[in-house]
């Protein structure tokens, strides 16, 4: 049997090193984890067409089953002003493209059939999914019209117009 004694100063250093190691592991895992919805209720899998369509339907969107376009894009290593603004949209939906700087991802673009005020005009509203390793890491809903708009996946609240009686 071996007995090893620590002086109190050595014990303090060992405990400090253990705590620092635990903190480093926690911060590393947080920085390298997959994005998730704030409440955990949004499924981010997008390995195949069925999963991509299921992801989209979680937000109430009705899209054409076949994508309008599938392309590979490169998330830049450093964000310019445009990417910072786009990433602000991502962060508002608990996603963050800065975790994927320098990565090549696929963008799946779908025509939206049920955007409020644009019903029946699937050629005007598109939904983009950014997918890496079978997981949605970002995306948007946008108008292709001149002076269009762009926002996250959530459906906008229908505007209620009031008329004077």
Q: Total domain count for the chain?
A: 1
Query: Residue 83: which of 138, 144, 141 has the closest Cα?
Result: 138
In the prediction, which pLDDT does 35 show?
A: 41
Residue 138 backbone dihedrals phi, psi, to 5 degrees = 175, 180
Q: Judge whether 95 lies within some domain.
A: yes
pLDDT of residue 126: 97
pLDDT at 119: 87
* Residue 76 located in a structural domain: yes
State the alpha helices, DSSP H only, in 5-162: 8-31, 49-57, 81-92
**121, part of any domain:** yes
Question: Is residue 107 one of the residues assigned to a domain?
Answer: yes
Residue 164 lies in a domain: no
Is the residue at 2 inside a domain? no
Task: Say if CB 102 and CB 77 are below 8 A apart.
Answer: yes
Domain around 101? 7-156
* pTM of the predicted model as reported, rounded to 2 decimal places: 0.72
Residue 161 lies in a domain: no
Using the CB atoms, write b or e for 22-59: b if 16+ within 10 Å.
eeeeeeeeeeeeebeeeeeebebebeeeebbbebbeee
Q: What is the pLDDT along the chain (165 residues), one digit of tens a residue?
A: 667 665 666 666 665 566 556 665 655 554 444 444 444 578 999 999 999 999 999 999 999 999 999 999 999 999 999 999 999 999 999 999 999 999 999 999 999 999 999 988 878 999 999 999 999 999 999 999 999 999 999 998 776 544 444
In a domain, 162, yes or no: no
């Amino acid at each position: 049997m071996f007995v090893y004694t620590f002086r109190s100063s050595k014990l303090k250093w060992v405990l400090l090193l253990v705590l620092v190691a635990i903190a480093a592991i926690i911060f590393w895992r947080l920085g390298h984890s997959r994005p998730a919805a704030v409440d955990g209720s949004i499924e981010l899998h997008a390995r195949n067409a069925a999963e991509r369509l299921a992801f989209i339907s979680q937000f109430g969107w009705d899209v054409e089953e076949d994508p309008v376009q599938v392309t590979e894009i490169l998330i830049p290593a450093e964000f310019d002003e445009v990417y910072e603004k786009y990433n602000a949209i991502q962060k508002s939906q608990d996603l963050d493209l800065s975790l994927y700087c320098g990565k090549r991802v696929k963008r799946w673009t779908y025509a939206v059939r049920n955007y409020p005020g644009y019903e029946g005009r699937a050629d005007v509203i598109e939904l983009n999914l950014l997918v890496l390793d079978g997981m949605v890491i970002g995306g948007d809903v946008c108008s292709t019209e001149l002076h269009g708009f762009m926002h996250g996946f959530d459906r906008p609240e229908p505007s209620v117009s009031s008329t004077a009686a």
